[in-house]
Amino acid sequence: MTTATYTVTGMTCSHCVASVKEEVGGVPGVSGVEVDLATGLVTVDSDAPVDATVIRAAVQEAGYDVVDQP
């Protein structure tokens, strides 16, 4: 099991959270998604590492942006 965390900007409500969960959850290999509206943190569980660009694209498809990690 692999876990990755991303910071997403622009989410303001539970509908935003649901949209991100749906899009990221549809990425092949993703087994679980948790979204914290207050912090913007999105935690992605998968059986094997998933390319961050694929996760970023899914978040963008939902209408939000991933903050680049330093």
Q: Give 23-34 pLDDT, tens digit per residue.
A: 999 999 999 999
Average pLDDT taken over every residue of the chain: 96
Q: Which residues span the domain enclosing 24?
A: 2-66
| Alpha helices in 1-70, H assignment, sequence order | 14-25, 52-61
Token duo for residue 16 = 């935003």
Q: Residue 51: give its domain's CATH number.
A: 3.30.70.100
Report d(CA 28, CA 25) in Å as an integer: 8
Q: Is the pTM of this model over 0.85?
A: yes
Is residue 60 within 8 A of residue 8, CB to CB? The reply is: no
Quick one: how far is CA 10 from the chain centroid?
Answer: 13
In this structure, what is the dihedral angle of CA atoms 26, 29, 31, 35, given to the nearest 10 degrees?
A: -60
Q: How many domains does the chain have?
A: 1
